[in-house]
């Protein structure tokens, strides 16, 4: 009994010391209000970056780089807030939901995304976020809010310069020539799929898919007509897509590569028979075919798109210039703010190194 009590006391004492250690102040930022960066906060941020980079353990220099980045972040955010820059909760939620919708591949609410995670992965939204990026939903939202505030402030300082960034025709053509080998279009087909999920009624799904197939093959309905029918029905999907002759396309269609190659042997206008998968009945037709080729500047980036290779290269070059302007402005601002009046290192030298050897 006495041994158990001693163990309990030791455990409580150890936990207390560990908690106290995490509360150790490493730096204080005071552009506006006074904010302390603690060892625990640094550990949490290092964990996030380790997950993102795939590195198991950061070395001492890498941990110091993360600490410097956290100091710079607080300096800029405090300066931005002091200058009147803000992000409302509504704006933050809109941005966050847009990110979730992009991840889901469709428009979803935060609640709906959480339900998808629970259904497909049997995890809470917080568990999923913690595993993926090392933050809970609320922690990530706070991090995101600071990032948006900082971005808005830099944009307010350099907005005219960023918006007026441009490139010459010669720059576009030179960039294309350097990266010409990347602009290759593989053999591609424009396909139209009709998919009827079984949803617990396999025989009903087969009947409906066969009926849609017969109507299409008999030219009683067009692909446009099938898409319009789909909009007023939740019983089937009708969608067109461009499919390349590559492994990623096979994975997207959930077929093996040899099956995809057989599909490419079919001619334009081919209509498949109705076939069954584990979850649905479906058929497809080949609307068009495009041969593999090296893309020129006037070619569309991919079949069916209006954006040409020239416009794509030009857009990327402009974004690169805007990023350079933004990063340069951020670097200049942090250098300007890193003065004793704005921040103080609470630990340095050997004392800091000792704390960073976890």
Spell out the per-residue pLDDT of the chain, length 358, in tens: 555 544 444 444 444 444 458 999 999 999 989 999 999 999 999 999 998 888 889 999 999 999 999 999 999 999 999 999 999 999 999 999 999 999 887 889 999 999 999 988 999 999 999 988 889 999 999 999 999 999 999 999 999 999 999 999 999 999 999 999 999 999 999 999 999 999 999 999 999 999 999 999 999 999 999 999 998 888 999 999 999 999 999 988 888 999 999 999 999 999 999 999 999 999 999 999 999 999 999 999 989 889 999 999 999 999 999 999 999 999 999 999 999 999 999 999 999 999 999 8
| Angle between helical axes of 110-121 and 89-104 (0-180°, round to 10) | 40
What is the residue extent of each domain of the chain?
A: 26-84+171-182+306-358, 87-164, 184-294
**Residue 295 to residue 182: CA distance in whole angstroms:** 9
Q: Specify the DSSP element, H or E, that contains 282.
A: strand 280-290
User: What CA–CA distances, in Å, run from 81 to 62, 216, 327?
Assistant: 29, 60, 20
**Is residue 190 within 8 Å of 242, Cβ to Cβ?**
yes
Tell me the backbone φ, ψ of residue 293, rounded to 5 degrees: -165, 160
**Is residue 188 within 8 Å of 290, Cβ to Cβ?**
yes
Q: Specify the DSSP element, H or E, that contains 189.
A: strand 188-197
Could you tell me if residue 105 is left (phi over 0), alpha (psi between -120 and 50 degrees) or otherwise beta? left
Q: Can you give the pTM of this predicted structure?
A: 0.75
User: How much is the CA Rg of the chain, to the nearest whole Å?
Assistant: 28
Give which of 32, 323, 342, 316 is closest to 158, Cα–Cα. Answer: 323
CATH T-level assignment (fold) for domain 184-294: Chitinase A; domain 3 (3.10.50)
**Residue 353 to residue 253: CA distance in whole angstroms:** 53
| Overall residue count recorded for the chain in this entry | 358
């Amino acid at each position: 009994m006495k041994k158990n009590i001693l163990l309990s006391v030791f455990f409580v004492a150890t936990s207390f010391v560990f908690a106290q250690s995490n509360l150790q102040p490493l730096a204080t930022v005071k552009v506006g209000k006074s904010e302390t960066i603690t060892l625990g906060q640094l550990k949490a941020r290092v964990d996030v970056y380790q997950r993102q980079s795939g590195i198991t353990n950061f070395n001492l220099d890498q941990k110091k780089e993360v600490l410097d980045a956290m100091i710079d972040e607080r300096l800029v955010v405090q300066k931005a807030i002091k200058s009147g820059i803000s992000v409302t909760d509504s704006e933050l939620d809109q941005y966050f939901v847009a990110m979730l919708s992009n991840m889901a591949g469709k428009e979803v609410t935060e609640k709906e995304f959480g339900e998808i995670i629970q259904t497909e992965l049997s995890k809470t939204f917080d568990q999923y976020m913690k595993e993926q990026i090392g933050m809970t939903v609320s922690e990530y939202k706070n991090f995101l809010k600071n990032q948006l505030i900082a971005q808005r402030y830099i944009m307010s300082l350099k907005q005219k310069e960023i918006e007026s960034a441009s490139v010459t025709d010669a720059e576009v053509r030179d960039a294309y020539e350097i990266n010409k080998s990347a602009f290759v279009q593989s053999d591609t087909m424009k396909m139209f799929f009709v998919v009827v999920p079984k949803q617990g009624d396999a025989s009903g799904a087969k009947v409906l898919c066969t009926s849609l197939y017969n109507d299409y093959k008999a030219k009683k309905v067009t692909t446009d007509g099938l898409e319009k029918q789909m909009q007023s029905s939740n019983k089937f999907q009708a969608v067109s897509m461009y499919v390349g002759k590559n492994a990623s396309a096979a994975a997207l269609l959930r077929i093996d590569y040899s099956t995809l190659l057989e599909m490419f042997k079919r001619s334009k206008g081919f209509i498949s028979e109705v076939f069954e998968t584990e979850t649905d009945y479906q058929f497809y037709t080949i609307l068009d075919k495009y041969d593999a080729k090296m893309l020129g500047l006037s070619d569309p980036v991919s079949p069916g798109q209006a954006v040409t290779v020239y416009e794509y290269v030009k857009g990327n070059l402009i974004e690169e210039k805007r990023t350079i302007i933004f990063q340069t402005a951020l670097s200049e601002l942090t250098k300007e703010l890193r003065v004793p009046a704005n921040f103080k290192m609470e630990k340095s030298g050997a004392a800091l190194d000792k704390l960073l050897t976890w």
